[in-house]
Amino acid sequence: MEDIRAGIIKALEQALYRAREAGEIGFEQIPAITLEVPREKQHGDFATNIAMVMAREARQAPRLLAEKLVACFEREGTWVKEIQVAGPGFINLTLDHRWLYPLLPVVQLADTGYGGSRVGAGKRVQVEFVSANPTGLLHMGNARGAALGDTLANLLKMAGFSVEKEFYINDTGNQIENFARSLEARYLQLLGREVSFPEEGYHGEDLVETMQGLIDQAGDKYLRMDPGLRRELLVKYALTEKIRAIRDTLERFGVFYDVWFSEQTLHDSGAVQETLEELQKNGYVYEHEGALWFKGTAFGEEKDEVLVRSNGVPTYYAADIAYHKNKFDRGFDWVINIWGADHHGHVSRMKNAVQALGYEPDELSVILMQLVRLFQGGEIVRMSKRTGQYITLEELMGEVGKDAARFFFVMRSADSHLDFDLDLAKSESAENPVYYVQYAHARICSILRTARDAGHQVPRVAAGDCDFSVLADPSELALMRKIADLPDEVIRAVTQLEPHRIARYALDLAALFHSFYTNCRVLTGEPSLRNARLLLVDDSRIVLRNVLNWLGLTAPERM
RNA sequence: GCGCCCGUAGCUCAGUGGAUAGAGCACUGGUCUCCGGAACCAGGUGCGCAGGUUCGAUUCCUGCCGGGCGCACCA
């Protein structure tokens, strides 16, 4: 695919040089030639706007220029069958459809590796996502982040990057203080003491359960303890419990991390302090009213930010800067964070700090994802019956299952608000896009089973030996073309940080397969046609399965 | 007030500066003697408004309108 593209571009360049030698066109340098895939099929397999781009410098009308270029174009070795000028000056290229056939054995051979590339070879990338507060349960926003982050990590791996997935545990700070007081209140209440619950505390039912669990294990022994020590021990117990619960839920959601990173360790190791000193050394820190401030205004921010409060306690910002320093010091070439849109103000602040420490801010990417709203029966679903809080990921999986949940979250662009339709996700029918894609896979497996039972194997063909010219139906060519596009799609999804493209790809591919299935009978009596189609079907299976796996969905053989 | 995201078909959303802007759902009609009907095919006066840049703008820039979210010695 890439070779073919590069070959055509080279041939176009040579045509331009030839035209110049013949005195037909004048130019200094050829601008970068891009080949796009036209929306309209009639416009061929590729199109280029090079004549329009060069029109001004060459002082010629785009169409005229295009015609001269076409006249000098040599097709030799490019698969180009037709080349013509169209519209305001486009050059449309139609390929001999035989260019697709060598792909068929390639997919078969690559198998689980098909769709991969080496654009990220030698580069280490870290994806940090979810990083939910360990004070409660995972909600819809966390779930969206989990689906996006995990899929993105899978795609990065396919693109050749070395990838690490990380969960940052916010296990210190004000919220933990608050968590401690909430736990203490629940603990005391469960043991019959009349204590009021902190106004700003964590009201979720899950804290009651957590403390009941502790009481079942350890009884009332914390009752007579010094309150400070008691809170410390309650938090320690609850954090372990909560983090385990979060990890369990994520694993059931199909998300596994390489590293669980504790914020507390940054304080304990002195990393926060070192980071502050470095910032100070670089001249970005000053003292004011007893607090230490970061000069955000030096980077065009509206105001400066507190790093260390006047009571001596570092802010979350200070810890987060230390955390990002730590990431870069671990040698990552690219650091990707997935945050809720409510943290957007933090993005430029973080990049500023990264720069202030002498790192390259462009090596930090942040994907901001917009809010998730749940819909059922056309109404917004806000509260969870069980916890009185927002619906949890656990409950969502119980309602619609892992596959539907993951697909729905990853199907939309991160920066669009996501309306999650519970009824649609639950429906086991045609209108559910998840089943549509999975059904295509199951259908393929069924065809292959039937073929095997009849004694027909998928042919194994060497790459050089593949005349599949019997595959010429438009639906067959469209399907092959889509399969050919996969590596490019992955690269695009990764470089644009848009994993939702792959969900669209899965839907498109499934549609093309269903269409092919309707138009072309696979198990025919004609052996060469049957063999060619069996290979195409098996390749479709491979591609669908790969894509479903990257999205974190199962690829069922029956359903 | 300042900042970020969004505004595309009845609904939910895709869309790489390009030619006739797409998909799913919903609705209507049709296809199938056979490999899985959870399928396929057909049916559409839609890019919030106004400027600007460009040969060309849904896409880039500015302003406005509408929706969401931020703007703590919270995280």
Q: Which two tokens stand for residue A311?
A: 């009571």
Q: Shortest CA–C1' contact from A37: which nucleotide?
A: B16
DSSP run (H or E) holding A374: strand A372-376
Q: Which residues contact A270 (CB under 8 A, 6 or more apart)?
A: none
**Whether complex ipTM tops 0.85:** yes
Q: Which residue has its C-alpha nearest to nucleotide B3's C1'?
A: A345
Distance (Å) from CA A303 to C1' B50? 34
Chain B positions with an atom below 7 A of a protein C-beta are: 2-7, 12-16, 18-26, 34-41, 55-56, 67-75
Report the run of H or E that residue A338 belongs to, with start and end. Answer: strand A334-340
Q: Which nucleotide is nearest to A415 (CA to C1')?
A: B5
Q: How far apart are CA A179 and CA A171, in angstroms?
A: 10
Express the helix, strand and coil content of chain A in percent, nearest 5 each.
55, 15, 35
Domain chopping of chain A, boundaries: 2-95, 103-118+430-550
Task: State the Cα–Cα distance between residues A286 and A292, nearest whole angstrom.
Answer: 6
Which residue in A171, A329, A330, A137 sits closest to A262, CA to CA? A171
Q: Report the alpha-carbon distance of residue A297 to residue A54 in Å, rounded.
A: 43
Please state whether strand B lies within 7 Å of residue A387 at its CB atom: no
For A220, the token pair is 């009332």
E-strand ranges in A199-303 read: 259-262, 285-288, 291-294
- Cβ A433 to strand B below 7 Å: yes
Q: Which residue is nearest to nucleotide B16 (CA to C1')?
A: A36
Would the CA dihedral through A50, A54, A56, A59 be positive or negative?
negative
Rounded to whole angstroms, the distance from the CA of residue A370 to the C1' of nucleotide B6 is: 9
> Which residues make beta-bridge pairs with A261?
A168
Beta-sheet pairing, A285-288 with A291-294: antiparallel
CATH code for the domain defined by A2-95: 3.30.1360.70
User: In the CATH scheme, what is the homologous superfamily, with its name and number, of domain A103-118+430-550?
Assistant: Isoleucyl-tRNA Synthetase; Domain 1 (1.10.730.10)
Backbone angles phi, psi at A215, to 5 degrees: -65, -40
**What is the pLDDT tens value at each position of chain A, 559 positions in all?**
667 888 899 999 999 999 889 888 888 878 888 888 887 777 888 999 999 888 877 778 888 889 999 999 998 888 899 999 988 889 999 999 888 998 999 999 999 999 999 999 999 999 999 999 999 889 899 999 999 999 999 999 999 999 999 999 999 988 899 999 999 999 999 999 999 998 888 888 889 999 999 999 999 999 999 999 999 999 999 999 999 999 999 999 999 999 999 999 999 999 999 999 999 999 999 999 999 999 999 998 889 999 999 999 999 999 999 999 999 999 999 999 999 999 999 999 999 999 999 999 999 999 999 888 888 777 777 666 555 667 889 989 988 889 999 999 999 999 888 888 887 787 766 568 888 999 999 999 999 999 999 999 999 887 666 678 899 999 999 999 999 999 989 999 999 999 999 999 999 999 999 999 999 999 998 899 999 999 999 999 999 999 999 999 999 999 8
